[in-house]
Amino acid sequence: MTALFINVFQIDAGDMIIFADLMHRIVDHRFQAVIEERIETLSDRVERHNSVIERTFHLEERASVLEEKVRVANHRIEDLEKHD
């Protein structure tokens, strides 16, 4: 029993380095997975944001065109009222 106890605790520095490296790789892999998930989530959010910005830009362009049409129509109405 004593020999088994001594053999279990006869871990040299090389074994500790291997164990530490293995633990580091496990933690690093998990950390990398979390980072990749966050990047993917942020990419989706940026894509949705850009889509909203693009749609807003197009709506503002259409609003500008419609405002110009209203100005032209009002000007024509004023001209017609002056000639009557």
Give the pLDDT of residue 37.
93
Greater pLDDT, 3 or 68: 68
Token pair listed for 23 = 């633990």
Least confident window among 9-13, 24-28, 37-41, 56-60: 9-13
pLDDT grade for 4, boundaries at 50, 70 and 90: very low
Residues 76, 12: Cα–Cα separation, whole Å: 95
Domain boundaries, the chain: 12-83
Closest CA to 74 of 16, 66, 50: 66
Checking if the pLDDT of 17 tops 90, the result is no
- Distance, CA of 43 to chain centre: 3
Checking if the pLDDT of 74 tops 90, the result is yes
